[in-house]
Chains A and B, each alone.
Chain A
Amino acid sequence: MEIRFSGSGGQGLLLSARILAAALTEAGLTVAQSNAYEPVSRGGLSRSDLVIGEAEADYPLAQRLDVLLILDEAAATVSTGLLTPASLVLCDAERVTTPPQGPFRTLCLPFTETARTLGTPRVTNIVALGALTAQTSICPPEALMAVIVAQTPARFERLNREAFAAGLAMGETEPA
């Protein structure tokens, strides 16, 4: 299975991928995580990919995405070539104005808006991670939440819990 987190540098895409990778590894799976970003201190196209399997991947980079998360317009079109009719595309409804068009399933969800309502757009990535978890059933939500708590500052725990729960609820209301 291949999952890409993409958007603009600073949106917590690498952190989201690292959190999901840790949860999957604890569940016994073998993960390869790769990143791409631009030589700027913030902004610019940023992405992190997970290639998930039972053993070490022959080729550890994404080739055909099962899930593509897009959190910013900067990443709207760059991954379209890796999509198949079986792909699921999750877009931020506010920051992605031209979602990819094609024979795949695209959901535009209010990740940023929900995060802002909770207190800060900085937890947009955690909201999205919740929705992705609900849509893919890739790992038990409790296991993922435990990794979020372990890998993020303690002062953000309550906010992260609320963000993840909101994302889960958002993902569950859409047909999987």
Chain B
Amino acid sequence: MTAPSLAAAPAALTGRRNLEGNEACALGAIRAGCRFFAGYPITPSSEVAETMARELPKVGGTFIQMEDEIASMGAVIGASMGGVTAMTATSGPGFSLKQENLGYACGAEIPCVIVNVMRGGPSTGMPTRPAQGDILQARWGTHGDHAVIVLAPASVGEAYSETIRAVELSETLRVPVVVLLDEVIGHLTETVDLGAVAEAPGIARPFATGPREGFLPYAETADLVPPMPRPGDGYRSHCTGLTHGPDGFPTQNPAVAAAALTRTTDKLVLHRARIESWREQATEDADLLIVAIGISARAARQAVKDLRAEGLKVGLFRPVTLWPFPETPLREAVAAAGTRKVLVPEMNQGQLVLEVERVLAGRAEVTGLSRIDGETLTPDEIAGAAREALK
């Protein structure tokens, strides 16, 4: 049996244009080969679904508005198991609902991309106002030890390129990837030149080939990514949320269970160089380093320039891959510059700061800067906190 017949990838988007962050996620996914979207509209992510509804049919893809977020996640997993690159998008309350099925995708190693545009929470919270309160939920929202990748774009151009990367990492590593935006980046329109951002990715999921007899759907391969059997290709396989060994069937054998769970997490360690991504600005001699993501990082970017103009040695370390956190690069940046202080501005009561404290473990004095009133942290606020910390 041949692969599902899908229309050719759309032409690369070239030229300068004004694009919204949510729209960029959708277009990036399609560019990367996504041909299935199931979702349930929710502010501030609805434009992802809206763009998918408009654009997917043009490339032979399928858009389904499901009855809720739980079903959307189920449909995405089903489509992906059927061999199609699939994505969904949501915001806080919907992200909470998706966690059970997201855990299934982690356990059964089903590639999928989940865009989560963060709004004020908990619960219904402030639907149209920005927050960054899902930083830890994106990592630990579903239960049990599990591997997941989280990418955190800080511009519209990056919403496009990081969604392409999300598809690439998800498909080639068999792991769910969360694209974590805040409301500001999701709803921000920026002038971008996508021709300068993206090359044709040529992403291909490694499907099983070779003998059907004795096929093991979760075999421990050298790259720790077992090739997925494509339905119709004739491989007998079993897929379950129960802990399973190489044959795909449930097991309670302690050695088999431990090896299987360890492989899914070791997988991300083995491929860490491909997964990790971060940006540094003026870090080389920074007395104080700011660590931030999303719109808080954009505010920090200006704060660093303003503080440098005052003669203060301040830099910015911005994780683009939020999870797994780029811990060695952060330690190296701090060590290379002899950084004494680290400031972590974020729109929650202190989540990213916990990881930074863990990673630096006393190598520098870490301070958080929180804002939870539905407004963004401004460059002036961050600059003020940096000046205070350097006193």
Chain A residues with CB under 8 Å of chain B are 18, 21-22, 25, 29-39, 56-61, 63
A39 touches B128 (CB 8 A): yes
A31 to B127, CA, bound (A): 25
A18 touches B189 (CB 8 A): yes
> Which residue in chain B gives the minimum CB-CB distance to A53?
B191
A38 to B299, CA, bound (A): 23
- CB of B378 closer than 8 Å to a CB of A: yes
Min CB distance B347 to A, Å, is: 13
B114-143, CB < 8 A from A: 126-129
Q: Do A25 and B376 form a contact, CB below 8 Å, given A32-B188, A39-B128?
A: no
B191 touches A31 (CB 8 A): yes
Q: Do A39 and B127 form a contact, CB below 8 Å, given A34-B187, A58-B305?
A: yes
Min CB distance B370 to A, Å, is: 18
Contact with A along B63-86 (1 / 0, CB 8 A): 000000000000000000000000
> Which residue in chain A gives the minimum CB-CB distance to B124?
A39
Which residues in B have their C-beta under 8 angstroms from that of A35? 187
Q: Do A63 and B379 form a contact, CB below 8 Å, given A34-B184, A56-B155?
A: yes
A34 to B20, CA, bound (A): 9
Q: Do A58 and B302 form a contact, CB below 8 Å, given A31-B190, A63-B379?
A: yes
Q: Do A59 and B16 form a contact, CB below 8 Å, given A33-B189, A37-B128, A38-B128?
A: no
B1-54, CB < 8 A from A: 16-18, 43
Min CB distance B382 to A, Å, is: 10
> Which residue in chain B gives the minimum CB-CB distance to A31?
B191
Which residues in A have their C-beta under 8 angstroms from that of B43? 39
Which residues in B have their C-beta under 8 angstroms from that of A59? 298-299, 301-302, 378-379
Which residues in A have their C-beta under 8 angstroms from that of B188? 32-34, 60
> Which residue in chain B gives the minimum CB-CB distance to A61?
B376
- CB of B380 closer than 8 Å to a CB of A: yes
A31 touches B305 (CB 8 A): no
Min CB distance A158 to B, Å, is: 26
Min CB distance B170 to A, Å, is: 27
Beyond A25-B17, A32-B190, A58-B305, 18 extra complex contacts between A and B, CB < 8 Å: A21-B18, A25-B191, A31-B189, A32-B188, A32-B189, A32-B191, A34-B184, A34-B189, A36-B129, A39-B126, A56-B191, A59-B301, A60-B155, A60-B184, A60-B188, A61-B295, A61-B376, A63-B378
Checking A18, A22, A25, A36 against B128 with a beta-carbon cut-off of 8 angstroms, the contacting residue is A36
Which residues in B have their C-beta under 8 angstroms from that of A36? 128-129
Min CB distance A3 to B, Å, is: 14
Which of A21, A22, A38, A60: most chain B CB closer than 10 A?
A60
> Which residue in chain A gives the minimum CB-CB distance to B119?
A39
Could you give 16 example pairs across A and B, Cβ below 8 Å?
Answer: A18-B189, A30-B190, A31-B18, A32-B188, A32-B191, A34-B187, A36-B128, A39-B43, A39-B128, A58-B298, A58-B301, A58-B302, A59-B298, A59-B302, A59-B378, A63-B379
B305 touches A33 (CB 8 A): no
A25 touches B18 (CB 8 A): yes
> Which residue in chain A gives the minimum CB-CB distance to B185?
A60
Which residues in B have their C-beta under 8 angstroms from that of A32? 188-191
Which residues in A have their C-beta under 8 angstroms from that of B301? 58-59
> Which residue in chain A gives the minimum CB-CB distance to B191?
A30
Which of A33, A39, A57, A59: most chain B CB closer than 10 A?
A59
Min CB distance A25 to B, Å, is: 5
B181-235, CB < 8 A from A: 184, 187-191
Checking B184, B190, B305, B379 against A56 with a beta-carbon cut-off of 8 angstroms, the contacting residue is B190
B380 touches A63 (CB 8 A): yes
A60 touches B191 (CB 8 A): no
Which residues in A have their C-beta under 8 angstroms from that of B127? 39
A63 to B301, CA, bound (A): 14
Which of B126, B127, B157, B189: most chain A CB closer than 10 A?
B189
A107 to B301, CA, bound (A): 35
Which residues in A have their C-beta under 8 angstroms from that of B191? 21, 25, 29-32, 56
Which residues in B have their C-beta under 8 angstroms from that of A39? 43, 126-128
> Which residue in chain B gives the minimum CB-CB distance to A44?
B128
A106 to B127, CA, bound (A): 33
Min CB distance B235 to A, Å, is: 48
